[in-house]
Amino acid sequence: MSDLSDIAHGLEAVARAIAGPEARATALRRLSGGASQETWSFDIETGDKSRGYILRRAPGGVALGTSAQSIGLETEAKVIRAAIASGSPAPPVAHVCTDADGLGAAYVMDRLPGETIARKILRDAPFEKARAVLARQCGAALARIHATPADTLPPLPFSGAREQLDRYEEVYRSFDTPRPIFDLAFKHLRDRAPTPPATTLVHGDFRLGNIMVGPDGLVAALDWELAHVGDPTEDLSWICMPSWRFGQMDKPVGGFGAVEDLLAGYREAGGDPRINADMVRWWTIFGSLKWGVMCLTMFRAFETGADPSVERAAIGRRASETELDLMLMLTGRL
């Protein structure tokens, strides 16, 4: 039941639950993007007032868990609520769907104004002011996310540096296709695996593409489905991973900023002052390795016939960009 009319029908009840018996759901449309979740935009009209909302829903309403690490939409909504209570910028959750809504696993959040497309944020004139302050703001946002009290969170998986090294090395070995640069990187990282100063809530996918940016800078962190408990340095580094710089390699933070600014913003907002550039570096190198393995995993969906699209085939050939970045980082050229 991915039909527009079925979704529209389910949202009528949701609109009444959010805004009262007179409320109506209108202007429903599917948004592009979000391979692992369906994202729909709609308005709720009450009298002459109208407000924008986003429906985030498991594909076809069935929560299959698109990756082993995905926490599920109900848990995701709880994490977002706890993170907002701690002062994190995230879209407020307006409604978590129940069976009675007939929408399957889903929740509704406020539709915030802003841009998520990386190339626009990095290049377009309306974001020039935002780009100047974004690294610092991202640091501050992550400090708030990491300060979310553990006792306000739903149960989440623990996944630190060693757990992730083990998991991604196992996946890589399962492909039985040698990529010596990956072997070199796994060994390099294993020999230097950091012990986190403390473990915290980790967003897990904080990068350009998953953050909403307006003319004044960061609006919200989106896509919380990979949230877990682990090393906070992971979040400060994933946005620095070379593939997420969208070609602007000389600006390590997302192609727009400097690591010093990211860490300064983090510390100013109460983030752990023990986290330093060397720790960010380890996780950035690991990020490239992880993304390389993830590209091959996504290609696997093509090879097994689960997703026969040309896009899934092509992504298997993006692992080499991470190998190049790994070599440049391991030889001090990036």
Binding stretches for other proteins (CB under 8 A)? 32, 178-181, 183-184, 186-188, 242, 245-249, 309-311, 313-314, 317-318, 320-321, 323-325, 327-328, 330-331, 333-334
**Nearer to other proteins by C-beta: 145 or 319?**
319
Closest approach, Cβ 97 to other proteins, in A, equals 25
Closest approach, Cβ 129 to other proteins, in A, equals 24
**Nearer to other proteins by C-beta: 7 or 326?**
326
By DSSP bridging, strand 24-30 and strand 38-46 are: antiparallel
CA atoms within 13 A of residue 286's CA, in its CB half-sphere: 30
**Nearer to other proteins by C-beta: 17 or 184?**
184
Contact (Cβ atoms closer than 8 angstroms) between residue 259 and residue 240: yes
**Nearer to other proteins by C-beta: 92 or 308?**
308
Closest approach, Cβ 79 to other proteins, in A, equals 30
Q: How far apart are CA 143 and CA 141, in angstroms?
A: 5
b/e map 128-138, b = 16+ CB within 10 Å: eebbebbbbbb
**Nearer to other proteins by C-beta: 186 or 266?**
186
**Nearer to other proteins by C-beta: 17 or 330?**
330
Reading the block at residue 255, the tokens are 């192609």
Closest approach, Cβ 314 to other proteins, in A, equals 5
Q: How far apart are CA 183 and CA 311, in angstroms?
A: 27
Query: Which among 82, 69, 70, 78 is positioned nearest to 96, based on CA atoms?
Result: 78
Bridge partners of 30? Answer: 40
Closest approach, Cβ 189 to other proteins, in A, equals 12
Dmax over Cα atoms in the chain, in whole Å?
A: 64
**Nearer to other proteins by C-beta: 49 or 192?**
192
Contact (Cβ atoms closer than 8 angstroms) between residue 260 and residue 251: no
Q: How far apart are CA 206 and CA 228, in angstroms?
A: 12
- Phi/psi at 54 (nearest 5 deg)? -120, 130
CA angle 128, 131, 134 (to 5 degrees): 150
Closest approach, Cβ 169 to other proteins, in A, equals 9
Closest approach, Cβ 296 to other proteins, in A, equals 13
